[in-house]
């Protein structure tokens, strides 16, 4: 889920995006430091994509026309340059500058993990993701308009259809308010129309051990 949110948009220049990452790495998350909801959300998203944290929760996918609900545990572990997403029996992420992929077992057979060849660095990947996210909510005609939805929460409302609209018709993102995990994504709800996806992380810690990053 957390990775699906990142698959959006076209990038602005890497140099500009890298500057965003540098700010996120060297300044503490502070909602009040941004002059408007859009910039505040960009700051929050920057922080959660770079900070060290381990987040455990539940994802629910609800089809409103039928009431059917699918639930799945989810775990995100991040400590630059490593990041793992555990969900649906599979593990995906990055180890150093290599893509890690551990597909879910099929028919009792465990395909094991695959580690791709060296590629983009963690910094360049995050810089590209942040540039793509910023492009969705800024510019003269943003794809999403951003409004405040309470303490450390923001709502993104789509202004028009676009293939880049990975945040659905409407999405609400909330971030942990304080302590060592301030700025970590606490919950996200994405309304795709008939299908609503929501993830809530009820366990978030800044203590990431080497064992947590093992697939």
Residue with tokens 């360049």: 124
Listed in sequence order, the DSSP H helices in 112-213 are 122-137
CA distances from 119 to 21, 34, 53 (A): 19, 33, 24
Cβ atoms of 74 and 84 within 8 Å: the answer is: no
Q: List per-residue pLDDT tens for the chain, 215 residues long.
A: 334 333 333 333 333 333 333 433 333 444 444 469 999 999 999 999 999 999 999 999 999 999 999 999 999 999 999 999 999 889 999 998 999 999 988 877 787 899 999 988 999 999 999 999 999 999 888 999 999 998 899 999 999 988 777 899 999 999 998 888 999 999 999 999 999 999 999 999 999 999 999 98
Assign 47 to helix, strand or coil. Answer: helix
- The pLDDT value given to residue 125: 92
| Pairing, β 195-205 against β 185-191 | antiparallel
First to last CA, the chain: 17
> How far apart are alpha carbons 129 and 16 in whole angstroms?
12
**CA 143 – CA 41 distance, rounded (Å):** 15
Q: Which of 38, 18, 7 is nearest to 144 (CA)?
A: 38
CA distances from 11 to 16, 62, 159 (A): 10, 31, 20
pLDDT at residue 140 in the model: 84
């Amino acid at each position: 889920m957390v990775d699906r949110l990142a698959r959006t948009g076209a990038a602005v220049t890497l140099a500009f995006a890298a500057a965003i990452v540098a700010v996120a790495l060297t300044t503490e998350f502070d909602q009040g430091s941004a002059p408007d909801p859009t910039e505040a959300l960009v700051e929050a998203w920057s922080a959660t994509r770079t900070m060290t944290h381990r987040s455990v929760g539940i994802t629910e996918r609800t089809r409103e026309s039928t009431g059917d609900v699918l639930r799945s545990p989810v775990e995100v572990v991040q400590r630059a340059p490593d990041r793992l997403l555990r969900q649906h029996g599979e593990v995906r992420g990055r180890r150093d500058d290599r893509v890690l992929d551990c597909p879910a077992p099929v028919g009792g057979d465990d395909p094991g993990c695959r580690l791709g060849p060296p590629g983009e660095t963690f910094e360049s990947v995050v810089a590209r993701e942040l540039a793509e996210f910023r492009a969705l909510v800024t510019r003269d005609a943003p794809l999403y308009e951003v409004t405040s939805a309470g303490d450390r929460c923001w709502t993104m409302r789509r202004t028009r259809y676009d293939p880049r609209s990975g945040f659905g018709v409407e999405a609400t993102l909330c971030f942990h308010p304080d302590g060592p995990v301030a700025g970590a994504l606490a919950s996200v709800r994405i309304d795709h129309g008939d299908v609503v996806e929501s993830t809530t992380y009820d366990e978030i810690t800044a203590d990431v051990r080497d064992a947590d990053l093992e697939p």
